[in-house]
Amino acid sequence: MWSVREQALYWTDNLGECIHRLDSESGRGQRIALGRNVMAIGLRAGAGLVLALAKHLAFYEPGGELELIMSVEQDQPRNRFNDAKVDRRGRYWAGTMNDVDWDKPSGSLYRVDTGLELSRLQGAVVCANGLGWSPDNRTFYFCESFRYAIFVYDFDPDAGVPSARRMFATVDHGSGGFPDGLTVDAEGGVWSAQNGAGRVVRYAPDGEVTHEVEVPVPQPTSCMFGGPDLDVLYITTSRQNMTPQQLGRYPLSGSVFALRPGLSGLPEPLFAG
């Protein structure tokens, strides 16, 4: 997550129970231990962050204490949050997944309004993942990793309701990869990390592949535009479930990478709750 007002990059080490912050001007890095798995990071309009933890949504201001604001799916102990984003009306969207059987359709998609009302918008989700909106705010993208697909919806920005779900892009099961986190650039292109395939792919709004970025590790997890001109694409990666032999071959697994792909992103919205 890139903060325009701070000119800083945030990312999560969810199994390490911490978040990281990198100040772009000074290059100073900070590791913030939270003692909880952090699945996704959003920015608040007032100050601080909104976080998706395993079972809770929480507020956090660096240097302060976690404030748990709500929990979900306590009747499904295997489920947890996986990814989340803020829309341009300041609402927080978060999806869940089965953390044991990743391909089980037990997840859901939720919307948290600015008054902290929680709405469940979709069920039977197979590993909720990357979310994003088109620049005109009329199209919503939502990834289900183990349907190996990114879906596209018509979006009503006033009501905050997606409709007319349809397929946008798929990843071949035989490729060894699956779609993970995503971001949308200023031209409406959808950048999707393909975990297991070692690449990030850009799709035009019509679904055509326009760019492929090969990453020197097999498990890219998400991507986000940042930098003063929002023209730097940051890519997070994972080393989860990799064998010692794989880590020996790909020692940079778990690193964050950056490149300038010749396109720029949009400022991430702020949660108004």
pLDDT, tens digit, 9 for 90 and up, residues 17-58: 999 999 999 999 999 999 999 999 999 999 999 999 999 999
Residue 169 placed within a domain: yes
Residue 105 placed within a domain: yes
Q: Which of 83, 87, 99, 180 is catalytic?
A: 180
Residue 58 placed within a domain: no
Residue 252 placed within a domain: yes
Which residue segment(s) compose the domain that 121 sits in?
Answer: 75-259
Q: Is 180 a catalytic residue?
A: yes
> pLDDT by residue (tens digit) across 135-147?
999 999 999 999 9
Alpha-carbon distance values, 123 to 83, 90, 104, 120, 208 (Å): 15, 23, 12, 8, 28
Residue 19 placed within a domain: no
Is the predicted pLDDT of residue 185 greater than 90, yes or no? yes
- For the chain, percent of residues with pLDDT exceeding 70: 100
> pLDDT by residue (tens digit) across 100-138?
999 999 999 999 999 999 999 999 999 999 999 999 999
Residue 231 placed within a domain: yes
- Phi, psi angle pair for 70, to nearest 5°: -170, 160
Residue 247 placed within a domain: yes
Closest Cα to residue 259, out of 189, 200, 194, 176?
Answer: 200
The domain total for the chain is 1
Residue 88 placed within a domain: yes
Q: What local confidence, expressed as pLDDT, does residue 63 receive?
A: 87
Q: What is the CATH number of the domain that holds 188?
A: 2.120.10.30
